[in-house]
Structure 1
Amino acid sequence: MIRCIRHTAAFSFLLLVALLVNAARVQVVEAERYGANPADRRVAIARYAKPRGAVLVDGRPVTGSRDSGGRLRYERTYTDGPLYAPVTGFSSQTYGTSLLERAEDGILSGADDRLTAFPWWDRLTRTHRRGGDVHTTINARMQRAAFAGLGGKKGAVAAVEPRTGRILALVSSPSYEPGVLSGNGAAVDEAWRGLNGAARRPMLNRALQETYPPGSTFKVVTAAAALESGRITDIDAPTDAPDPYTLPGTATRLGNAAKDCEDAPLRYAFRASCNTVFARLGTELGLRTMAATARRFGFDDDRLRIPSPVAPSTFDTRMDRAQLALSAIGQYDTAATPLQMAMVAAVVANGGQLAPPYLVDKVTDAGGVMVAAGPHRPARQVVGPATAQQLQELMTDVVEHGSGRRAALKGVTVGGKTGTAQHGVRNEGMPYAWFISWAREKDGYEPAVAVAVVVEDAAADRADISGGGDAAPIARAVMAAALRRGPGR
């Protein structure tokens, strides 16, 4: 009898051990797989049981949470939603997350293991941690200046700090109110359909996710290639460029909107935006040199994250010489995001070095303790300091004596390049007006900011100088905000 009791006890013990092992398997090993099952509502209920962490600008939250009283209890709220939507994105119980809300979802939702000292214990006990906070690099003054400058026109602004890569402004227009997508229900569904069906595409982040032909602003890259390769050694020497220029292998004659471009020195050609000079330079330099220079500036990089993914800017590596000539002036199929062109301006301003751009300064837990700092990746040399100095001369000449005069600021050294990007069949579409620039105090050494502005629905003619009328004043306002200058200074 005692022997039977012992056998029964041993068998019961084995069953208990098996039960515990299975429970551990379900709660720890298989937890992620079960949690991903859409039929498991407990995950969603737990996710929204506590307020979401905040996204901060200049130390102040621009997002919050409200208690809806429903099963998915806390819904996302936004302060100045349209202003910061290109930064925050949206967080919706129905449609998920986007942009920074998605890239930093682990911190904001409390799921990131960096928010606790014992993540394994939290997983075992199913503890739902409070969300942490994401501190952005955005400067509120500059963000407002860019948003007001666009004034609802289709376009975008990106501004970075050249020395560090901190993104100081990121605006896309028209924008939208992300708060209408918070929660669930018929109203959210209707708002989603309305935003996605809108003709002006307000949910498209034009600063990060749209690429445009950069037009004459790309001549900064072509000039850099010419100077770095030694093809141009004196920016005031004649270039032996014809006007018009017959594209190699074709009967197409490329002309200029400006006068006196024949045999023009690089300084004048850059200021007047002579297409013929830069197209000919592109073909002389060759595809390999042009493509390599573009890559050093950041083109053809599909790995850029800020931490939201950025659409890759492209410079084709399979072109004939005629196509290369057009690409050298920012046409054909060369395409760039506004952030990429801000990076181009930043390289010039920063002595030829590119500091990779980033949007998150640090993340903290719910108690304000820093969990992680921003990426702070090291800068890399794109062009030599001597080349950067010559490019600075060319860009300041555009602002002081050329088409970029409307970007000038009193007591500030400003460099810029205007451009109009032609597009559509036979270039019949409304041109995009571009302006890229950088600024530093007259008595300072370090540049304060680099800016790129593109205006899609610019009321401009097709001359290369139109970016000076539509985009340059917006860049000026952003640079003034960076340097704390009033509108009249």
Structure 2
Amino acid sequence: MTRYIRHAACFCALLLVALLVNAIRVQVFQARAHDTNPANRRENIARYGRERGDILVDGRPVTGSRDTGEQLRYERTYRDGPLYAPVTGFASQEYGTTLLEHTEDPVLSGSDPMLTPFPLWNDFTRRRNPGGDVVTTLNGAAQQAAFRGLAGRKGAVAALEPATGRVLALVSSPSYDPGVLSGNSPGVGRSWAWLNANPDKPMLNRAVRQTYPPGSTFKVVTAAAALDAGVIRDVDAPTDSPAPYTLPGTTTSLSNESDGCEDLSLREAFRWSCNTVFAKLGVDVGVRDMTATARAFGFNDDALRIPFSVARSTFDPSVDRAQLALSSIGQYNTRATPLQMAMVSAAVADGGQIRTPYLVERTTTAGGSIVDTAGPRPVRQAMTPETAAVLKELMTQVVTEGTGTNAAIPGAIVGGKTGTAQHGIGNAGMPYAWFVAWAQGERDMQPKVAVAVVVEDASAVRGDITGGGVAAPIARAVMKAVLNAKE
């Protein structure tokens, strides 16, 4: 009898060992597979079972969490949602995350191991930390000035601090409220369908994800290439530039918006934005040097992130001479994001240097302890300091006595460049109004802000769409907000 009891006990012990082995297999070796299984709701229940960390502007949260009392307990909320949507993106229980809500999700959701001093212990206990906070570089007043200036018109604004690369404003219009996508009610699905079907594309981040022909604002790059290549040695000397200018190898004539551009010096051609002078300058510089200069400014870069990805701005290196002429005045295949053109303006303001732009100043734990900081940013020389000094002078004259007078700020030094970019088949599309600029307060040792504005408002009268008339006042408001200048 004792033998049978011993056999039964051994069998039970084997079953217990088998259960333990299977539990270890499931809970240790297959844990990740089960965690990522779409049928497993425990991760979502845990994820939304606690408040999400916040995104901060000027030290104040522009996001929050609302307790719904449901199984997926906390929903994301947004303060001034449309104002900050191009920065925050959305965090939706149904549709995932975008922009900062996506790139900083490990910190915001509490899953980043850097949020705890004992990450291995958390892995063992599967304990989730409280969500951390993301402190942005934004200037709230500049963000609001850009948003009010666009006033719902299609367009975008990007502003940078030239000496650091900090993103001070990033606005896209028309915008949307990310809060309508936060939960999982039927209304969320209806909002998602409406936003995606809206022809104005309110969820498109035009500041970093949309490229436009930059038009005459690209003449800053062309002027830099001509000066660095030695094609222009005296900005006051006449140029051999006919008006109209016949594109090389064609019978097509390029004209100007204003008269008197024939043989104008670089200074006067820049001031009055003469197409013929800059088209010929681009041809004289050549494809190789024009492409190299454009690349130095950031064009043709696929890797730019701020931390979310930025669309690639392009300058075509395979053009013929006629196409090069058009490319050199910001037409043909030349395209840029507003952020890229803000980088061009910032390079002029910072002695020819471009600082890689960034949007996150630091991340912290829920208690405020610093987890990570932006740190030093890579620097690239887009042009020589001497060329940058000349361009600063030329851009200043555009604002004091040229096409950009609407950007002038009393008591501050302001430089700018207007642009009106044609597009569409046969240039039949509504022109885009551009303005790029930088500003330096009277007590500042160096420029404090560089900005790019584009307005693509199809409801406007075509003749009214000019960079100086439409975009420059918006840039002025943004720069004033940063400088805190008075009328």
TM more than 0.5: yes
Distance 1:317 1:6 in 2: 84
TM superposition shift of 1:460: 5.7
Task: Look up the match of 1:88.
Answer: 88
Q: Deviations over 1:148-180 (max 9, x none)?
A: 111111100000000000000010011111101
- Structure 2: 5+ residue runs without aligned partners? none
Give yes or no for contact 1:109–1:132 (8 Å, CA) kept in 2. Answer: yes
Task: Look up the match of 2:135.
Answer: 135
TM superposition shift of 1:485: 1.8
TM superposition shift of 1:69: 1.1
Distance 1:353 1:206 in 2: 25
Distance 2:424 2:143 in 1: 31
What is the identity, as a one-letter code, of the residue corresponding to 2:215? G
| C-alpha spacing 1:21/1:358, structure 2 compared with 1 (3 Å) | farther
* Pairing of 1:122-271 with structure 2 (within 5 A): 122-271=122-271
Determine if the alignment matches structure 1 residue 468 to structure 2 residue 463.
no
Q: Deviations over 1:17-69 (max 9, x none)?
A: 66555544433443332212111111111110000000000000000000111
Q: Deviations over 1:355-379 (max 9, x none)?
A: 1000000000111110000243132
TM superposition shift of 1:4: 9.8
| C-alpha spacing 1:32/1:446, structure 2 compared with 1 (3 Å) | farther
What is the identity, as a one-letter code, of the residue corresponding to 1:176? Y
TM superposition shift of 1:123: 2.4
Distance 1:440 1:24 in 2: 64
Distance 1:231 1:15 in 2: 86
Distance 1:450 1:22 in 2: 61
Distance 2:201 2:126 in 1: 41
Give yes or no for contact 1:28–1:123 (8 Å, CA) kept in 2. Answer: no
Distance 2:292 2:21 in 1: 57
Distance 1:292 1:87 in 2: 31
Task: Look up the match of 2:379.
Answer: 379
Task: Look up the match of 2:99.
Answer: 99
| C-alpha spacing 1:6/1:315, structure 2 compared with 1 (3 Å) | farther
| C-alpha spacing 1:382/1:46, structure 2 compared with 1 (3 Å) | same
| C-alpha spacing 1:4/1:428, structure 2 compared with 1 (3 Å) | same
Distance 2:395 2:451 in 1: 13
Distance 2:429 2:183 in 1: 40
- Structure 1: 5+ residue runs without aligned partners? none
Distance 1:14 1:217 in 2: 78
How many residue pairs were aligned? 486
Distance 1:36 1:476 in 2: 49
Distance 2:370 2:169 in 1: 23
TM superposition shift of 1:13: 6.9
Task: Look up the match of 2:326.
Answer: 326
Give yes or no for contact 2:48–2:72 (8 Å, CA) kept in 1. Answer: yes
Give yes or no for contact 1:420–1:462 (8 Å, CA) kept in 2. Answer: no
Give yes or no for contact 2:342–2:451 (8 Å, CA) kept in 1. Answer: yes
Distance 1:179 1:405 in 2: 40
How high is the sequence identity, in percent, across the aligned residues? 65
Structure-1-length-normalised TM-score: 0.95
Task: Look up the match of 1:70.
Answer: 70
Task: Look up the match of 2:410.
Answer: 410
Distance 2:120 2:352 in 1: 47
Task: Look up the match of 2:445.
Answer: 445
TM superposition shift of 1:124: 2.4
* Moved >6 Å (runs of 4+): 1-15
TM superposition shift of 1:444: 2.9
| C-alpha spacing 1:38/1:207, structure 2 compared with 1 (3 Å) | same
| C-alpha spacing 1:255/1:27, structure 2 compared with 1 (3 Å) | same
Task: Look up the match of 1:341.
Answer: 341
Give yes or no for contact 2:441–2:485 (8 Å, CA) kept in 1. Answer: no
